[in-house]
């Protein structure tokens, strides 16, 4: 997912609109993007899709269904011979249809970002209070103001994932650099809003987070999930900010000599996150991390390995697909590591012969003297 920022004086919504209108003109209607799409059902043509994406055109029911079934996996982008971004065009369609989006979409955003109603404000406050009571060990990181430090760890909404936070804080402490933490639903990165076409909310979230990053005076921002990673990349691009943005695994690999040398006697499959498409460095670090501890198995790149989180299962087919995905991985390895926390939390609930782990587990288990 790439948003072209051609004019820093434009809002995010205006920038995306400008990009989409230009790309619609440039589209050759070769149909490659729909050919590789895992949810396209041939109920409309590429020409009809382009027409529906125009600002003032009607969106037929078949294209509305497709718009909300879209996974935002980005497999359509490299398939395009003229380097267009169909995923961003779908975000624009979601913007057009934002008043008609399914409840599953609305529910996911309900407590994230700026409260847009009194009810949302109360629910958000209750959610934060409940989580602080439930996880007092990490309550100080929830909805906090970061202190000044060289490194800012930004878990965003995933500050409420207690096991992941416990492991991450232990790893940051082990590395030994001074760090600050910024997390909570008030500090949502805005990527969930962007993926739903809520461009104004997304920009508000990004501006709020960027202000906190500036307040921390950090030179390096380390993100807790790959959606946050993409969002901070976009913030820095908009602001021409020279700060470094790293995934947690990139950060750990930069300090790999701080960890014990542990070699596991079984291969580990690395789930190829669709968020890697905008950053080869993040993917290279993930592969290197697996190789640090084991032999990295690469699932067939021709298959779509997206966890399907971002269509919120409006098609009611995601669970069956997850079972198929883990079954396919099980033919190569009994352990699959996820660098993307969204993928991990989406797949980890399934009963399966394949063990789903976070990639940071390899580092955490090394300092704990354990094996996955």
Domain that holds residue 226: 108-254
pLDDT tens digits for range 243-255: 999 999 999 999 9
Asked if residue 302 and residue 214 are part of one domain, the reply reads: no
Q: Is the pLDDT of residue 277 over 70?
A: no
Residue 14 banded pLDDT, cuts 50, 70, 90: very high
Residue 331 belongs to some domain of the structure: yes
Asked if residue 91 and residue 144 are part of one domain, the reply reads: no
Alpha-carbon distance of 247 to 169, in angstroms, equals: 14
State the SS3 of 154-215. EEEHHHHCHHHHHHHHHHHHHHCCCEEEEECHHHCCCHHHHHCCCHHHHHHHHHHHHHHHHH
pTM across the whole model: 0.92
Residue 3 belongs to some domain of the structure: no
Least confident range of 164-168, 231-235, 279-283, 358-362 = 279-283
pLDDT tens digits for range 201-213: 999 999 999 999 9
54 three-class SS: coil
Asked if residue 303 and residue 328 are part of one domain, the reply reads: yes
Give me the number of domains the chain comprises: 3
Taking residues 63-90, report their average pLDDT: 95
- In this prediction, residue 48 carries a pLDDT of 97
Q: Do residues 93 and 84 make contact, with C-beta atoms less than 8 angstroms apart?
A: no
Asked if residue 231 and residue 162 are part of one domain, the reply reads: yes
Asked if residue 197 and residue 122 are part of one domain, the reply reads: yes
Asked if residue 113 and residue 247 are part of one domain, the reply reads: yes
Residue 7 belongs to some domain of the structure: no
Asked if residue 167 and residue 48 are part of one domain, the reply reads: no
Percent share of the chain, pLDDT over 90: 77
**Residue 209: exposed, middle, or buried by beta-carbon count in 10 A (0-12, 13-18, 19+)?**
buried
Domain final position from 254, 271, 303 = 254
- In this prediction, residue 66 carries a pLDDT of 98
Residue 326, H or E segment:
helix 318-330
Q: Is the pLDDT of residue 198 over 90?
A: yes
Asked if residue 271 and residue 203 are part of one domain, the reply reads: no
Residue 1 banded pLDDT, cuts 50, 70, 90: low
Residue 2 belongs to some domain of the structure: no
Q: Do residues 111 and 123 make contact, with C-beta atoms less than 8 angstroms apart?
A: yes
Alpha-carbon distance of 85 to 257, in angstroms, equals: 39
HSE-CB at 204 with a 13 A cutoff on CA atoms is 11
Asked if residue 208 and residue 225 are part of one domain, the reply reads: yes
């Amino acid at each position: 997912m790439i948003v072209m920022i051609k004019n820093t004086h434009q809002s995010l919504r205006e920038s995306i609109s400008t990009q989409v209108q230009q790309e619609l003109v440039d589209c050759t209607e070769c149909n490659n993007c729909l050919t590789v799409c895992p949810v396209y059902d041939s109920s409309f043509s590429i020409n009809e899709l382009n027409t529906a994406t125009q600002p003032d055109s009607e969106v037929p029911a078949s294209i509305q269904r497709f718009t909300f079934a879209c996974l935002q996996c980005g497999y359509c982008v490299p398939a395009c011979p003229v380097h267009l971004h169909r995923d961003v065009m779908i975000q624009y369609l979601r913007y057009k249809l934002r008043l008609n989006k399914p409840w599953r979409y609305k529910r996911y955003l309900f407590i994230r970002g700026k409260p847009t109603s009194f009810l949302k404000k109360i629910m958000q406050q209750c959610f934060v209070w409940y989580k602080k009571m439930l996880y007092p060990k990490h309550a100080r990181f929830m909805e906090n103001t970061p202190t000044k430090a060289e490194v800012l760890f930004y878990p965003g909404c995933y500050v409420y994932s207690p096991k992941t936070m416990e492991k991450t804080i232990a790893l940051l402490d082990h590395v030994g650099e001074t760090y600050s933490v910024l997390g909570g639903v008030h500090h949502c990165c805005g990527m969930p809003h962007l993926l739903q076409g809520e461009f104004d909310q997304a920009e508000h979230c990004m501006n709020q987070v960027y202000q906190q990053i500036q307040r921390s005076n950090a030179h390096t921002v380390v993100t807790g999930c790959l959606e946050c990673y993409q969002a901070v990349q976009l913030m820095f691009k908009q602001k021409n900010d020279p700060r470094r943005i790293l995934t947690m695994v990139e950060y750990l690999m930069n300090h790999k000599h701080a960890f014990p040398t542990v070699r596991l006697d079984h291969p580990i499959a690395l789930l190829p996150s669709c968020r890697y498409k905008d950053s080869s460095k993040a993917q290279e670090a993930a592969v290197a991390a697996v190789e640090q501890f084991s032999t990295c198995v690469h699932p067939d790149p021709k298959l779509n390995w997206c966890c399907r989180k971002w269509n919120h299962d409006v098609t009611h087919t995601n669970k069956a697909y997850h079972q198929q995905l883990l079954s396919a991985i099980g033919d190569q390895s009994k352990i699959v590591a996820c660098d993307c926390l969204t993928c991990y939390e989406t797949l980890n609930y399934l009963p399966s012969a394949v063990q789903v782990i976070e990639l940071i587990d390899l580092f955490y288990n090394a300092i704990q003297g354990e094996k996955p």
